[in-house]
């Protein structure tokens, strides 16, 4: 019966069903009383809904798109600088990174003389056994310690973090003007200065290499020069 | 919002319905239009405001009960509801003034006097409120949703009931309880 009451109350009954029901209401006191009770409760419920809808009308509308976008500004103002800092930290170049990018232990070339000794040494260097190589050089007699060994000794010191020794050896080699090791010594001397984080020395070495238009390490030195002059270097 | 969007939102119920209601009232520009027409027909500012709000509620109910057939624009339909409501209200109040023996004047001069029938309506509302106040919040919400013709499935979702059957049971219980409270009130017994 409640379903029929509801349909009548909502005005959803077909004309014939509506007439039949109205006849029942007219003739049956019980149904009439029940419907009256139902209708009052239904109207009370409707009033609740009306009151709610009216309260809803005056609530502020959602902010327009522009304002909503503006609301994001405080968040963006925090996120954006953080993102930039994170990006800079991720892309910044420091001396260690620059050194690691450029330092490579060179493979050893053999000369015709002194083949056996040199061959043993070459094996140590090519297998990146710098400790073994340094020990090997220590055991060599003074007359056998040529620029060749001094050069690799410098590289091994550089590789193991003994920058002072490396710097001395490369400095001597540069001064000796031995054309076989001159250019490479300048290059590794630059890398030593970078590893030592010695800014003045780094700039001097760079200028020295850049002044030589046919220097074998010219291109790499230019790259280093660009990086150390970048604001992102050592941020 | 287009008429179609409004109808869709009101039919969808809940937050979408509320958004549509707010848009009609605040953004559509219909309020100013319809209130101006009602004022020309003699309504005061307060009356035209009440009538317009009631008309929006009626529109919502008609859309949710599928009584709006889409034969006219929503603004025309809302204007028509408002006008009908205004004339019904005016007839009632005029009748009440006549019954009360007060001076009859031009209906257009009617402002916000307190005619007998309006007092009766207010009294009726007060008794309804008294009965509703004794109902729990959950019951009130179920009845509100039911009055807005939400399906039992939708009521179950809104109220976090397990099933539509549970929603139907709750609605029946709440409606019965409200009926009992209203019948117990001597005002409604008469």
Give the model confidence (pLDDT) of A194-231 as tens digits: 988 888 888 888 888 888 888 889 889 988 888 887 76
CA-to-CA separations, A211 to A189, A190, A222, in angstroms, rounded: 15, 14, 11
Q: What is the pLDDT of residue A135?
A: 86
C-alpha dihedral (A87, A88, A90, A96), degrees to nearest 10: 170
Per-residue burial over B40-74, b if 16 or more Cβ lie within 10 Å, else e, is: eebbeeebbebbbbbbbbbbbbbbbeeebeeeeeb
Cβ of residue B55 closer than 8 Å to a chain A Cβ = no
Question: What is the mean predicted confidence (pLDDT) over B118-142?
Answer: 80
Cβ of residue B154 closer than 8 Å to a chain A Cβ = no
Q: Answer whether residue A112 shows pLDDT above 70.
A: no
Report chain A residues whose CB lies below 8 A from the CB of B131. Answer: 44
- Which residues, 6 or more positions from A48, have their beta carbon under 8 angstroms from its beta carbon? B132, B140, B143, B144, B147
Supply the DSSP symbol for B89.
H
Dist. CA A95–CA A170, nearest whole Å:
19
Q: Answer whether residue A107 shows pLDDT above 80.
A: no
Q: What is the pLDDT of residue B104?
A: 39
For the ranges A163-177, B24-38, B77-91, B123-137, the lowest mean pLDDT is seen at: B123-137
Q: What is the pLDDT of residue A118?
A: 74
Q: Both tokens of residue A233?
A: 């270097």
Cβ of residue B59 closer than 8 Å to a chain A Cβ = no
CB contact under 8 A, B175 and A41: yes
Picking from B65, B146, B188, the nearest residue to A45 by CB comes out as B146
Report chain B residues whose CB lies below 8 A from the CB of A41. Answer: 143, 175, 178-179, 182
Question: What is the mean predicted confidence (pLDDT) over A60-83?
Answer: 71
- Alpha-carbon Rg of chain B, whole angstroms? 19
pTM above 0.90, yes or no: no
Cβ of residue B138 closer than 8 Å to a chain A Cβ = no
Q: What is the pLDDT of residue B98?
A: 55
Picking from A38, A53, A60, the nearest residue to B60 by CB comes out as A53
Q: What is the pLDDT of residue B1?
A: 85
Percent over 90 (pLDDT), chain A: 15
Closest CA–CA distance from residue B151 to any residue of chain A (Å)? 13
Q: Answer whether residue B83 shows pLDDT above 80.
A: yes
Q: What is the pLDDT of residue B101?
A: 44
Q: Both tokens of residue B167?
A: 């929603």
ipTM of the complex, rounded to two decimals: 0.81
Picking from B24, B60, B179, the nearest residue to A41 by CB comes out as B179
Q: What is the pLDDT of residue B102?
A: 44
The chain B residue lying nearest A48, using CA atoms, is: B144
């Amino acid at each position: 019966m409640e379903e029929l009451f509801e349909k009548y109350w909502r005005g959803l009954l077909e004309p014939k069903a509506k007439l039949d029901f109205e006849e029942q209401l007219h003739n049956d006191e019980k149904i009439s009383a029940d419907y009256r009770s139902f209708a009052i409760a239904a109207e009370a419920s409707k009033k609740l809904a009306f009151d709610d809808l009216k309260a809803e009308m005056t609530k502020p509308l959602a902010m327009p798109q522009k304002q909503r976008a503006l609301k994001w500004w405080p968040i963006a103002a925090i996120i954006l600088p953080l993102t930039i800092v994170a990006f800079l930290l991720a892309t910044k170049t420091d001396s260690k990174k620059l050194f690691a990018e450029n330092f490579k232990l060179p493979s050893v070339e053999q000369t015709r003389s002194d083949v056996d000794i040199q061959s043993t040494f070459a094996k140590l260097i090519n297998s990146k056994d710098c400790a073994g190589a340094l020990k090997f050089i220590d055991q060599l007699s003074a007359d056998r310690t040529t620029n060749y060994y001094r050069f690799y000794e410098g590289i091994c010191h550089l590789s193991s973090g003994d920058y002072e020794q490396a710097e001395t050896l490369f400095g001597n080699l540069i001064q000796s003007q031995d054309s076989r090791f001159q250019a490479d010594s300048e290059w590794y001397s630059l890398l030593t200065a970078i590893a030592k984080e010695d800014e003045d020395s780094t700039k001097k070495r760079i200028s020295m290499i850049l002044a030589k238009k046919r220097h074998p390490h010219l291109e790499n030195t230019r790259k280093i020069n660009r990086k150390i002059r970048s604001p992102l270097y050592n941020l | 919002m287009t008429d179609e969007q409004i109808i869709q939102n009101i039919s969808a119920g809940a937050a979408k319905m509320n958004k549509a209601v707010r848009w009609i009232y605040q953004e559509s520009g219909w309020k100013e239009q319809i209130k101006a027409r009602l004022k020309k027909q003699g309504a005061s500012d307060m009356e035209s405001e009440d009538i317009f709000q009631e008309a929006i509620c009626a529109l919502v109910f008609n859309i949710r009960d599928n009584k709006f057939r889409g034969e006219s624009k929503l603004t025309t339909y809302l204007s028509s509801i408002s006008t009908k409501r205004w004339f019904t209200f005016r007839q009632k109040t005029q009748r009440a003034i006549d019954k009360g023996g007060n001076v009859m004047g031009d209906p257009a001069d009617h402002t916000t006097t307190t005619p007998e029938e309006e007092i009766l309506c207010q009294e009726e509302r007060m008794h309804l409120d008294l009965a509703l106040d004794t109902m729990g919040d959950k019951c009130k919400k179920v009845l509100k949703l039911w009055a807005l013709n939400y399906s039992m499935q939708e009521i179950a979702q809104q109220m976090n009931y397990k099933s539509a059957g549970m929603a139907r049971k709750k609605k029946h219980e709440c409606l019965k309880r409200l009926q009992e409270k209203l019948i117990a009130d001597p005002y409604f017994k008469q």
